[in-house]
């Protein structure tokens, strides 16, 4: 009998300990009010930052550092994440009982470093569909150094970023230094269209090697473009087929898609009609982004739709501009927005708009580096006597 009692006691202790751990993990805490014990339910705030080691303020009170978890009573809180030398991150978050809420801050430096990638002058840069390579032309040098170059933003150069570029054609066969480039949908090749000094020709170039004898596709350009259009259409269809039937109809009826995020979980689009988005996911996802969404669409306004969470956010941009430049940051959680010769980065729900650069750059030649570490721009730094070159703006 004694052994049985001991065994039962151990099992009961293990059960109570397990139950306690489960309740603790779900945010329940034992509190004493007026001398009475009470098991109160709280929510969990997980605060992270990149770079880490930032301060976390809750309702203007310094509460902890990032990469930590905080227990909070259910309710709305103003959360601010701050680190010296970086723009602060701030958001209103809703804490719910037993739910984990995330505050994920990507912090940008207040004094970013500017570094040149090229020094011989650059024209006509073009980003490939995978957003990992930039094609550009170089002229005003020797014939062998003039031509088309590829900047690989996935390479890890040993010394400087200038080692990241590879020449894929020169001016021996034709004036490739004057070409306008069009990438194939798979990013493996590009068409160089040349119209200079009485020449008019189109060449197919492989992106990864030097093209000693490039293929002249001038007479078959229509066929090449048609095959590329089919590849793009097949990819778009594949993305659409991955959506639920109800969501697919909603997208077809109301979305003029501008671009998909790199991880294909979000859609940046312009509303093709005024409508109300139906609820696709029911019941709603617990612990989803607490930024207020907007399901009443206004025609021609710009939105981001989060497929996983079935939430829709309006991106506030000037209403009278048709040439708005918005593109995805590689992390699929932020957007790059160009306006008034400034570069902003914002979260995909429109929050935390940060002006990361306000110096000179040419046209809309702004490209994010594939690992989120920097942005590439084309600029002559405001000096009209020098040719423009590619520079990086450090975001670390």
Which tokens in the block code for residue 390? 């590619």
Q: Are 43 and 97 in contact (CB under 8 A)?
A: yes
Tens digit of each residue's pLDDT (9 = 90 or more) over 335-378: 999 998 899 999 999 999 999 999 999 999 999 999 999 999 99
For the chain, counts of helices (H) and of strands (E):
3, 31
SS3 assignment, position 282: coil
Greatest mean pLDDT among 20-24, 37-41, 136-140, 333-337:
333-337
SS3 assignment, position 140: coil
Q: What is the pLDDT of residue 32?
A: 46
Task: Summarize the confidence of residues 18-47 as an average pLDDT.
Answer: 61
Question: Long-range contacts: 184-190, Cβ < 8 Å, 24+?
Answer: 184/129, 184/228, 184/231, 185/129, 185/228, 185/231, 185/232, 185/235, 186/129, 186/231, 187/128, 187/129, 187/130, 187/132, 187/133, 190/126, 190/128, 190/135
175-188 per-residue burial string, b: 16 or more CB within 10 A, e: under 16: bbbbbebbbbbebe
Q: Are 352 and 90 in contact (CB under 8 A)?
A: yes
Tens digit of each residue's pLDDT (9 = 90 or more) over 117-141: 998 899 999 999 999 999 999 998 7
CATH class of 2-106: mainly beta
Q: Are 95 and 120 in contact (CB under 8 A)?
A: no
Question: Long-range contacts: 247-251, Cβ < 8 Å, 24+?
Answer: 247/280, 247/307, 250/277, 250/278, 250/280, 251/305
Report the distance separating Cα 101 and Cα 93, nearest Å.
8
Report the distance separating Cα 167 and Cα 212, nearest Å.
11
Beta bridge partners of 306: 266, 311
Pairing of strands 266-271, 302-306: antiparallel
Which tokens in the block code for residue 76? 């709305």
Which tokens in the block code for residue 250? 């909603």
Tens digit of each residue's pLDDT (9 = 90 or more) over 255-309: 999 999 999 999 999 999 999 999 999 898 988 998 999 999 999 999 999 999 9
Beta bridge partners of 78: 92
Report the distance separating Cα 70 and Cα 62, nearest Å.
12
Q: In which band, very low, low, confident or very high, does the pLDDT at 394 lie, cut at 50, 70 and 90?
A: very high
Q: Are 149 and 168 in contact (CB under 8 A)?
A: yes
Question: Is residue 1 scored above 90 in pLDDT?
Answer: no
Report the distance separating Cα 119 and Cα 387, nearest Å.
9
35 burial type by CB count under 10 A (0-12 exposed, 13-18 middle, 19+ buried): exposed
Tens digit of each residue's pLDDT (9 = 90 or more) over 153-178: 987 765 567 678 999 999 999 999 99
Q: Are 31 and 38 in contact (CB under 8 A)?
A: yes
Report the distance separating Cα 105 and Cα 65, nearest Å.
12
């Amino acid at each position: 009998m004694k052994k049985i009692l001991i065994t039962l006691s151990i099992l009961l202790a293990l059960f109570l300990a397990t139950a306690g751990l489960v309740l603790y993990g779900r945010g329940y805490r034992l509190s004493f009010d007026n001398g009475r014990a009470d098991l109160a339910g709280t929510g969990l705030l997980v605060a992270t930052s990149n770079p880490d080691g930032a301060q976390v303020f809750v309702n203007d009170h310094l509460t902890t550092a990032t990469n930590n978890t905080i227990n909070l009573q259910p309710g709305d809180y103003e959360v601010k994440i701050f680190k010296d030398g970086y723009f602060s991150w701030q958001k209103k978050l809703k804490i719910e009982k037993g739910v984990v809420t995330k505050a994920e801050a990507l912090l940008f430096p207040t004094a970013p470093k500017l570094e040149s990638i090229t020094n011989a002058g650059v024209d006509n840069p073009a980003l490939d569909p995978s957003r990992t390579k930039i094609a550009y032309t170089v002229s005003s040098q020797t014939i062998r150094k003039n031509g088309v170059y590829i900047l690989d933003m996935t390479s890890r150069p040993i010394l400087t970023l200038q080692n990241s570029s590879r020449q894929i054609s020169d001016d021996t066969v034709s004036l490739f230094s004057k070409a306008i480039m069009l990438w194939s949908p798979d990013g493996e090749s590009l068409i160089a269209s040349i119209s200079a000094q009485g020449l008019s020709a189109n060449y197919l170039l492989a992106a990864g090697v030097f093209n000693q004898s490039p293929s002249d596709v001038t007479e078959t350009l229509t066929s090449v473009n048609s095959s590329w259009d089919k590849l793009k259409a097949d990819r778009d269809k594949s993305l659409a087929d991955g959506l639920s039937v109800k969501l697919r109809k909603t997208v077809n009826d109301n979305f003029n898609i501008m671009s998909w995020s790199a991880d294909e979980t979000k859609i940046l689009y312009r509303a093709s009609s005024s409508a109300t988005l139906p609820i696709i996911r029911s019941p709603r996802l617990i612990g989803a982004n607490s930024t207020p969404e907007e399901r009443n669409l206004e025609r021609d306004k710009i939105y981001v739709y989060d497929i996983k969470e079935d939430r829709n956010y309006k991106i506030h941009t000037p209403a009278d501009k048709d040439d708005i430049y918005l593109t995805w940051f590689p992390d699929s959680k932020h957007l790059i927005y160009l306006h008034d010769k400034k570069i902003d980065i914002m979260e995909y729900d429109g929050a935390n708009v940060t002006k990361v650069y306000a110096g000179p750059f040419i046209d809309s030649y702004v490209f994010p580096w594939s690992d989120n570490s920097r942005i590439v721009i084309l600029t002559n730094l405001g000096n009209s006597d020098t040719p423009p070159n590619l520079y990086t703006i450090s975001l670390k």
